[in-house]
Structure 1
Amino acid sequence: MTTSTGKGSIVVVTGASTGIGASTARALSRHGFHVLAGVRRAGDGDTLRANGIEPVILDITEPTQVQALAARIAADPRPLHALVNNAGIQVNGPVETLPMAQWRRVFDVNLFGHVAITQTLLPALLRSEGRVINISSIGGKLAMPTYGAYAGAKFALEAVSDALRREVSPLGVEVVVIQPGGVRTQMAARGVATANHLAAQMTSDQETRYGGLVQAVNSLMDSGTASGVTSELAARVIVKAVMTPRPRTRYTVGRDAALLIRLARVLPDRALDHLSARSLRSHHPRTPTVGVLSRLRVGVSS
């Protein structure tokens, strides 16, 4: 039975190497949970390892690693209190230009990996009447230009969360969605670098069509991250969702998420299109983009 105390219970946090995942693992351990913190590399685990935090090598797209985690939990007498599905990647590019391999990679990590680990651990969560915490995004309700793959996976995660909640809530398992806005983590910086790398591979015609847009979105992403909340604040919201006896179905993180998700709920599509274009207007480059992206292309091919 889920309780408000973590003593004697296990929580799994995926994507715990840095950012929100690492902060969540540390916060949960301070509340008495034993955290199985999923990391991709042993070095990340060494940095994270502490009292109450047990790093485990976990790529959620690798079935053998997911099964190894399930075996680790099955061998432990402590109940599984919660699964925090936090692992994710950010890959941005216009729908026309983003390679299909990147679309599949984004959905594999940001959606199918979460479904796979949830399926695997759900029997343990049903026994303990625990909960699933899915880390979505403001992009799960509002898709900016170049966010087609990322937002598409997050939209789908929101739908899967709704379906799962209606399936397992009568069985005693809570399903909660966390919707962060701008958060100061390394993920956004990596996303900008990936977007630039992919933009450098566009054809000259595609560069003419989308070069300025890509730069504007990257600039907006940089500014939004710089002004965003800390990963520690996001972790506090996740801990609340983990520990509250009767949690809400969704929690936003940051004022930007609360405002934009509310607007997405009430404004018509054309109004949202206008807001999106206006938010990007000041971020568009004042000089032609062809030279900039051509220099990036040279760097990629060299």
Structure 2
Amino acid sequence: MDSQVVSAALQGLPPIRALLDWWRKQKRRSKVAVSTAAILAAIWYYRYRIRPMLSIKSARGKAVFVTGCDTGFGNMLAKRLDVLGFRVFAGCLSEQSAAKLKSETSAALTTLICDVTKEDQIVAAAREVEAQCPQGLYAVVNNAGVSDSFLAHVTRPEAVRRTMEINFIGTVAVNYHFFELIRRAKGRIVNMASVWGYFSGFGFGPYSASKFAVQAYSEALRQEVEGFGMKVIVIEPGLCRTPLMTVEAQKGIERTWQRAEESRKNVYVDREKFFKGCQKSLALLQYIAEDPKKVVNAYERALVSAYPRTRYTPTMNSKLFYGVSQLPDFLKDCLAKYILCPKMVAVDDV
């Protein structure tokens, strides 16, 4: 079709005609700026929206090691990957959890006892995987984590250390001992971070610190291993209805409060009222928690995509909290004060 005919046809459409008239009136510099912006937007859309939708040819036989498969995300992911045809090595804390998971999956799934705070168990797991998969490992998923710490000024150092040991040092240790297997297969590392790795808040200090560390470590690792053909992906969920958010979080704040020094609790005029206020804040967060399947879906995309994104933020509340993290500090403090923080009256203020 003649180009003049096409141009005439387009000009017959009012919106297109207005756009063409506007374009003709623009100066050359403006046209270059708009064209450049459009090209960059198209590249971004392709790279982060279209390309990650392309999947690997087949999952059959690809070996994946997943930590923290006793409950929650890890348990659900191990079952999902098993159905998809991956050769799953599921790390569990206890023999009971391992036996239960094994009874609910196919014979292709292998359970391994792996406490990420015990390096000898990580080394033993790596040797077992290497014995069965000498060609290398397609992926490691560092899913193991806890969320049982509480107020930063009340939580004892040993409790903070435990949170860091599991959420961060455990991730580092697993990646270190499985690195050669992943490099051999030009595989990928999937680390569980959190939207709380971008900002912290009332009651989240120790947990956020561990996730900040995972974010920083993952970003550096991604740049370091790219030359080996390896990929590093971060999962950044918000609040989800898992045992981590429901049972463990509730037990964690109760345990932290009970173990806190009396001098720390006695600074409040009505310490019981303050603690009940903290429990109400947790109940509010649990109320907006979302379906954990969203996170498992993100894990799946990180593993089956031929060109995975570097980050997946799978829940709506994680996107909301990320937006909050970009606010000025005084606004974040106001939100915390009037939404999350219970009314605090110190003894000195009476």
Report if the CA contact (8 A) 1:184-1:225 is conserved. yes
Counterpart residue number, 2:253: 195
SS of residue in 2 equivalent to 1:96: coil
Counterpart residue number, 1:280: 340
- Over 3 Å counting, the alpha-carbon distance change for 1:242 and 1:214 in structure 2 is farther
Counterpart residue number, 1:295: none
Larger of the two Rg values belongs to structure: 2
Deviation at 1:153, TM superposition (A): 0.6
- Over 3 Å counting, the alpha-carbon distance change for 1:125 and 1:275 in structure 2 is same
Task: Give deviations 1:159-210, integer Å, cap 9, x for gaps.
Answer: 0000000101121111111111111111122122121122123344422546
Deviation at 1:216, TM superposition (A): 3.5
1:87 to 135, 140, 144: 144
Counterpart residue number, 1:241: 302
Task: Give deviations 1:95-127, integer Å, cap 9, x for gaps.
Answer: 222111111111111111110110111111111
Range with bigger deviation, 4-13 or 124-133: 4-13
- Over 3 Å counting, the alpha-carbon distance change for 1:104 and 1:23 in structure 2 is same
SS of residue in 1 equivalent to 2:340: helix
How many residues get paired? Answer: 285
Distance (Å, rounded) in 1 between the aligned partners of 2:346 and 2:78: 42
Structure 1 residue identity aligned to 2:145: G
Distance (Å, rounded) in 2 between the aligned partners of 1:262 and 1:8: 40
Counterpart residue number, 2:227: 170
2:286 to 206, 225, 228: 225
- Over 3 Å counting, the alpha-carbon distance change for 1:113 and 1:203 in structure 2 is closer
Counterpart residue number, 2:60: 7
Distance (Å, rounded) in 1 between the aligned partners of 2:309 and 2:195: 17
Distance (Å, rounded) in 1 between the aligned partners of 2:346 and 2:70: 35
Structure 1 residue identity aligned to 2:256: L
Report if the CA contact (8 A) 1:90-1:150 is conserved. yes
Distance (Å, rounded) in 2 between the aligned partners of 1:124 and 1:58: 17
Deviation at 1:275, TM superposition (A): 1.8
Counterpart residue number, 1:297: none
Report if the CA contact (8 A) 2:156-2:260 is conserved. no
Deviation at 1:91, TM superposition (A): 2.5
Structure 1 residue identity aligned to 2:313: T
Higher relative contact order (Cα pairs below 8 Å, separated by 6+ residues): 1
After superposition, residues 25-36 of structure 1 pair within 5 angstroms as: 25-36=78-89
After superposition, residues 11-50 of structure 1 pair within 5 angstroms as: 11-49=64-102, 50=105
Calculate the TM-score normalised by the size of structure 1. 0.87
Report if the CA contact (8 A) 2:188-2:231 is conserved. yes
Distance (Å, rounded) in 1 between the aligned partners of 2:262 and 2:128: 51
Calculate the TM-score normalised by the size of structure 2. 0.76
Q: Could you say what the CA RMSD is over the residues aligned between the two structures, in angstroms?
A: 2.3
Distance (Å, rounded) in 2 between the aligned partners of 1:93 and 1:106: 11
Counterpart residue number, 1:109: 166
Report if the CA contact (8 A) 2:149-2:163 is conserved. no
Distance (Å, rounded) in 1 between the aligned partners of 2:296 and 2:219: 22
SS of residue in 1 equivalent to 2:115: coil
Which structure 1 segments of 5+ residues have no match?
291-302
SS of residue in 2 equivalent to 1:12: strand
Structure 1 residue identity aligned to 2:161: R
Distance (Å, rounded) in 2 between the aligned partners of 1:99 and 1:247: 39
Counterpart residue number, 2:7: none
Distance (Å, rounded) in 1 between the aligned partners of 2:194 and 2:177: 24
Distance (Å, rounded) in 2 between the aligned partners of 1:160 and 1:60: 17
1:156 aligns with 2:217: no
Identity of aligned residues (%): 27
Counterpart residue number, 1:293: none
Report if the CA contact (8 A) 2:202-2:340 is conserved. no
Which structure 2 segments of 5+ residues have no match?
1-54
